């Protein structure tokens, strides 16, 4: 299943007033990264609040040379297509996108949406549900993250999302504890529908049988004849 992990940075938190300044998307397919991403800085034509600048470090001076949302919207919509969209606190990020679409007289997104904040609350009710808290719980490296950035946060969220859905790290409990991995609880190996043909010739089998006969009645090799 194709899914798009999405994050935005904005001029502030007032949906009807503030604007998007950065969009980052990461494509995964069947919970594996495909290497495809979408990333744009956006000129909001609107002041960046001091509190927002402290979070993402994107100034009005930096953004004024970037394309407006109107100029990047078609590329963005083409990238996400009809994929399921995954965001942390999805009503905010996707609400901001829908508000931008509305200003352009374009219809809102119709994609299926997964909110990882709600997913985390359900899976880890006693844990911290911020992106940083979830990265810490799942031992995801955040050393590159000095400030918030839409693409970097989307990349981190893609790893968190995979862990919330079951994870690549077998035995990692969603309560933040390690489960003991034993022979009994290892996942079963996948079996081939059609077994591979033996590469041994009849002559090699005859020589091996003759060798085993020389080892005596208690030889362990007799168990594999």
- The catalytically annotated residue of 39, 49, 129, 148 is 148
- Three-state DSSP at 115 gives strand
- Three-state DSSP at 155 gives helix
Tell me: is residue 203 an annotated ligand-binding position.
Answer: no
> How far apart, in whole angstroms, are the C-alpha atoms of residue 45 and residue 63?
9
Q: Is 148 one of the annotated active-site residues of the chain?
A: yes
> How far apart, in whole angstroms, are the C-alpha atoms of residue 113 and residue 84?
6
Tokens representing 56? 């993402």
Tell me: is residue 51 an annotated ligand-binding position.
Answer: yes
Pick from 155, 124, 127, 161: nearest CA to 141 = 155
Tell me: is residue 56 an annotated ligand-binding position.
Answer: yes
> How far apart, in whole angstroms, are the C-alpha atoms of residue 42 and residue 44?
6
Tell me: is residue 27 an annotated ligand-binding position.
Answer: no
Tell me: is residue 153 an annotated ligand-binding position.
Answer: yes
Question: Which residues are annotated binding-site positions for a divalent metal cation?
Answer: 7, 9, 153
Which residues does the annotation place in the binding site for substrate?
Answer: 7, 9, 51, 56, 153
Q: Annotated binding site: which residue ranges?
A: 7, 9, 51, 56, 153
Residues marked as catalytic: 148
């Amino acid at each position: 299943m194709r899914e798009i992990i999405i994050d935005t940075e904005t001029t502030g938190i007032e949906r009807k007033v503030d604007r998007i300044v950065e969009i980052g998307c990461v494509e995964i397919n069947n919970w594996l990264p495909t290497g495809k991403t979408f990333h744009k800085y956006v000129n909001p034509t609107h002041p960046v609040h001091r509190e927002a600048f402290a979070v993402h470090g994107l100034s009005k001076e930096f953004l004024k040379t970037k394309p407006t949302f109107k100029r990047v919207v078609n590329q963005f919509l083409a990238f996400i297509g009809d994929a399921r969209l995954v965001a942390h606190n999805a009503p905010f990020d996707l609400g901001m996108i829908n508000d931008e679409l509305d200003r352009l007289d374009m219809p809102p997104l119709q994609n299926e949406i997964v909110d990882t904040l709600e997913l985390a609350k359900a899976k880890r009710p006693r844990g911290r549900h911020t992106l940083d808290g979830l990265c810490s719980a799942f031992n995801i490296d955040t050393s590159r993250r000095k400030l918030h950035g839409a693409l970097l946060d989307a990349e981190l969220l893609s790893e968190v999302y995979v862990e919330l859905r079951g994870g690549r790290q077998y035995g990692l409990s969603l309560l933040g504890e390690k489960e003991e991995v034993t022979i009994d609880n290892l996942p079963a190996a996948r079996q081939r529908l059609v077994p591979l043909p033996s590469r041994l010739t009849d002559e090699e089998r005859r020589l091996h049988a003759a060798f085993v006969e020389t080892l005596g009645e208690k030889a362990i090799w007799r168990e594999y004849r």
